Amino acid sequence: MCGISVLIDQQNNPVSSSLIRSSTDVIKHRGPDASGFYFGDNFAFGHRRLSILDLSKEGNQPMEYNGLVITYNGEIYNYIELKKDLGEQGYKFKTKTDTEVILASYHFWGEECVKQFNGMWAFVIYDESQKILFGSRDRFGVKPFYYTLNNNFFSIGSEIKQFTTLPDWKSNLNQEVVQAFFKNSSQDFSTGTFFKDVFQLRAGNNMIYNLSNHSFEIKKFYNPKFKTSQTSSRKAINNYQNLFKDSIRLRLRSDVKVGTALSGGVDSSSIVGVMHNLLNDDLDSSELQETVSACFTNKKYSEEDYIDEVVDKFEIKSNKVFCSIDDLEESLQQLIWHQDEPFPSMSMLAQFMVFKKANKRGLTVMIDGQGADEVIGSYYGFYKQLLKEQFKRKDFGKLLGNCLGIPFFQRKETLRALYSKYKTKSIPDFKFLRIDKKIPHKKNDSSFKVDDVFLQKCLNATFDNSLPALLHYEDRNSMAFSIESRVPFLDYRLVEFTLNLPLHYKINSGKRKYIIREACKDYLPTKIYNRHDKMGFVTPQEVWMKSNSNFFKPLYDQIDEITNGFIDTHKLSYEDFLNTFGDKLLWKVIIFSQWVKRFNVTI
């Protein structure tokens, strides 16, 4: 896991050493182990290395191979298999890295090489023979890829903050993205960012940049394949289990210590269980895994009891981080800097503290359960919509079975939803928010049907909205502490297999994540297997904001001045705002204004 930097001078002048170094050094946290540079006639590559495979200097980047040069961030987990196949085609290798395998793959397959990769990546390859730069971002966008044109420089980077080092850089506000953020907490739903004229290459896309005429094109190379398959229950469960185990097996490939982020939910607990089995049996390793978990003294927000169930079952080393308001006060500015953009809740803090603890424990690679909910459709909103459609169709048999499977504390809310028009809640237009009302904002599609098409549409929405934002948070929080985070639920083989299973393998008699539970049943404590509530990385946000006005009120009082009246709060006190609009909106106006201040954004 690393950080990349590319600068192209569109006036065809050489790029200065100081400029590419500045752009690269600002992301030193992504790669503290080494740095390197490559200079072409009118462009330059920069790289910061976090050593994971082949820790020797031979693995440093930018790396050259057969007239190709690469700067690369990520991991290609099936590099060993690809290396063998390419070796049979006559390719020779000097290193034990996956980087060299990418270059050989591009040399052999050209642009189609990315379809051979199982992993996460954002890279740019200089192809000397064609005078082009070939860039690519992995299928689901686990790794970031940003670009902008500023003062005749076309720039590519792993993080937006790299562009702030460009000559005459100005941070300007993108109102469309801001409106979506305030309306629906949406971000990363398009190529746009909070910064005007800063874009991201979307997941599953390639970029080809012509160095001669300075034109570029973007080509999509991947779309999840939807083709619902019919198969027996036992076969489906076995196939899922085998794919899941192989996904984790590949993601255990590392020359540094690997740990796991354990929340106590079904997803992360399944990873811990399977990992334990692989480390102690399949891989014949005596090394026990080590977990890191976020907890709270307030039991309402803590999953400590579930975490203990997993730790006790496998007798593994457990590290717990008890997050507090003091951690938020201490880390807020650091969080804003690393995230590059505002974030809609304090849940970011819990994940941030987990990676901070992992760093202290010497865990350079962490395996995380991110992506499972988006692939299998386990969010409660999906579930309520499914029940409503069954009610409308008078399919009372399935409706009753699903209702009985709902946790008792959620039944009243769900049944009430069946008798009311289902509509995604969004924040109304407020007079104090000066946003152009003509700008469209992203809306969640609630017109789903109760069949497999229903779930596919749900999953399409999360791939466009929820998943990219979650992966953004995951990448920045982990890389803030020089940690590579790996997400086995987003192995494309497992994703496609899951997407194409009939609906009842995903939601069955009220059980969400049915296929995961059954496939990992032997690896899960009974209490986790039967668990139906979902928390994720939560924090006592409302409690903190009500009981710590001494910290939040001064931040609130600065909003009008910082945003130059864009958000007008001077007529409403902190307490009145909290009581009227709630903690969610209050947090967003505070974090937005602090982001404006941190990055000197012009509104």
- Catalytic residue annotation: 2
Residue 1's contacts (CB-CB under 8 Å, 6 or more residues apart) are: 30, 31, 50, 52, 73, 74, 75, 478, 479, 483, 484, 485
Output DSSP code: residue 261.
Answer: E
3-state DSSP of 164-207: HHCCCCCEEECHHHHHHHHHHCCCCCCCECCECCEEECCCCEEE
The identity of residue 292, as a single letter, is: V
DSSP state letter for 472: H
On the 0-12 / 13-18 / 19+ scale of CB atoms within 10 A, 396 is exposed
| Rounded CA separation 281/275 (Å) | 10
Cβ-proximal residues to 262 (8 Å cutoff; 6+ apart), any chain: 268, 269, 272, 291, 292, 293, 307, 310, 311, 318
Residue type, 365: V
| Of residues 574, 571, 569, the one with CA closest to residue 548 | 574
Cis peptide before 428 (omega within 30 of 0): no
Tokens 């947090």, residue located: 587
Torsional sign, CA 371, 375, 376, 379: positive
d(CA 169, CA 166): 5
